[in-house]
Structures are given as structure tokens and as C-alpha cells.
Amino acid sequence: MKKQIFSRVLLMIIIFFLTVSSHATTAHSSSEISKTAVHFFNEGQRINGILTEPEFLQAPAPVIILLHGFLGHMDDLLVSDSEESLFEMTARIFAERGISSLRFDFRGSGISEGEWKDTTFNKQVSDAISSISFLQSLENADSNRIGVVGLSQGGLVAACLAARDSRVRSVALWSAVAIPIHTYSALLGEDSVERAANATPFEEIVASISWGGTTVLRKEFFDELFSVNPVAEIVSYKGPLLVVSGLKDNLVFPQPEVSKLFIKYHKGVNRLLEQDSGHIFDLFDRQDKVREIIEATLEWFIITL
């Protein structure tokens, strides 16, 4: 009972500060930031990423790990009227306020080693765990203040990561996949899921993508649609949780009901942020909505880390 009262009081304090900060003019620290190409290894394969930090650090800074989505990479999704990708903009805004970030390509994606067809949820979680170990080796990173942002499938990975690795102290889920079999049956077609169910181990499945084109994934990916449950995993994570829902999301739907599942089963301090936007916050058409999400997430980490 005392724990429930404490959680409610803490949540009220967090919401108060988020509300105040959203209406206040905040003095930003120096806009000078540094971007460094970095790499680390998992299961013998090289994972490439970018570490973005405030330029003049006087003490180790908190670090946010940015996890991209399905068929994405660390610098995809160019924001309207800018020369920055979603995570590049996020990293810059975070660094301007004193928070470092690491974005990287999962194995088989972008410029990291590996083949896309071999990807699975659990392999991506393993990559994310390796990224935390890498951060712990950096003298400018505060390993006691590590947060995670996960977009779409990256949100699924972030939920599982937080449950499996106690080094994660705060989490933000952006349009996170909550029910894999539902989302990927719509995204890749029920016929692909059925063919995978009857396939031999490691067989390659060619699937049509709902937004156009095809992709090739092994049977193992489809098997995990049934065995990996990010909502069930979030039960094991007791730290602060921010869940962002685009109410017009046509990839992870219905909203906000799907996002509310994380809130319902999470037992710690949490907040659901609903926005009248799509899966990636209308970033191809305008900047204001995605900036709202970035700023709200930044304030969440400032308070909870």
C-alpha cells in the first residue's frame, strides 16, 4: 500500500514538472555538441553507431540509447524542412540539454554487419544489451543513468531490454509494437505468417510489406511473433516508463488501446502521452509534432534519470 502511494505521489510530481517545463522558456546549455562514429561487437559481428555528446563535459553524462524500427536504420526518417533524421534531431536536442545518446544499426540493418534476413526480436535485444556494456566502457558516460527510446519495433525491443537488463533506469516507448502477431500479420500479411508456420527451420520467407515492396526473413523471425511478448515483459520492469501514442497510427493499432497495454501492466511510475498524429508523428509533413514528442521525452529523462 505504501509503495502504491509513493508511486502515485512521484507520478504527480513528474507530471507537475513536465507541465511546468512545457510552458516555460528553458535556458539551453551550449549548443556545441560532438558526434563520434563508434562500434562494438555482438556474437562476433560489428555494430556501428554514433555517439552524440555535449561538447564540454565536466562530469559523466546520462546516456539515452535510441533504437530504430523494422526495416529502418539509425539515420532514416528525414524530418520535414530539415537536414536531420528523427534520431539525429533527437540526439542534438538531448545533447544541447546535457544528455548524451547512442544510436546504432541493429545487426543486418544499415551499416552494421550481418544479414537482414537473419534478424529476430531476441537478436535485437541482445544487440541492445551489448550497447549498454559498450557504454559502460566510456569514461564520459554515466553508467548509472542509462535510458532507452524505442520506436515501433525498437519500442518492442526497448520494453524487453528494460525487463531483462537492470542497468536500464528509464524508458520511453514511441509507437511501440505491443502485440507482435497482430502488427506483423497486418504489416507482412497473414499468408506470410501461415507459410512460416509450415516452413522448415531457417527457411527464408518472402513477404509483401503493407507500404509496398517485399522483404525476406527467416522462419525464426515469424516464430518469435508468438514467443516474444513485450507487454508481458514490461511487468518485470519497475522503473519510470513513458509511452507515446499517435492516435492516427495505422501500423501499430488500434490507438491508444494498444499503447495503454504497457501502462496497464507496468507496475512503476508511468505516463501515457497521446498525440493526434500518425505512427512517426507526421514528421514527413511537419516538424512541430515530432519536436513535441522529443521535448516531452527529454523532460521525462531529465526528471527520471
Tell me the pLDDT tens digit for each residue of 37-64.
999 999 999 999 999 999 988 899 999 9
Quote the number of domains for the chain: 1
Percent of the chain with pLDDT over 70: 90
pTM for the whole structure: 0.91
The model's pLDDT over 228-261, given as tens digits with 9 standing for 90+, comes to 999 999 999 999 999 999 999 999 999 999 999 9
**Least confident piece of the model among 5-19, 71-85, 275-289:** 5-19
Residue 121 has pLDDT above 50, yes or no: yes
CATH number of the domain that residue 141 is part of: 3.40.50.1820
The model's pLDDT over 82-119, given as tens digits with 9 standing for 90+, comes to 999 999 999 999 999 999 999 999 999 999 999 999 99
Per the prediction, the chain carries an average pLDDT of 93
The model's pLDDT over 61-84, given as tens digits with 9 standing for 90+, comes to 999 999 999 999 999 999 999 999
In a domain, 193, yes or no: no
DSSP 8-state assignment for residue 252 = S
How is residue 212 written as a grid cell? 509496398
Q: Where are the alpha helices (DSSP H) in the chain?
A: 2-22, 86-96, 121-136, 153-164, 180-188, 190-197, 219-227, 230-234, 257-265, 288-304
Containing structural domain, residue 17: 2-179+229-304
Decide: 181 and 193 in contact? Cβ < 8 Å.
Answer: yes
Whether the bond into 54 is cis, omega within 30 of 0: no
DSSP 8-state assignment for residue 116 = G
In a domain, 103, yes or no: yes
Residue 23 has pLDDT above 70, yes or no: no
Compute the chain's Rg from CA coordinates: 19
Residue 33 has pLDDT above 90, yes or no: yes
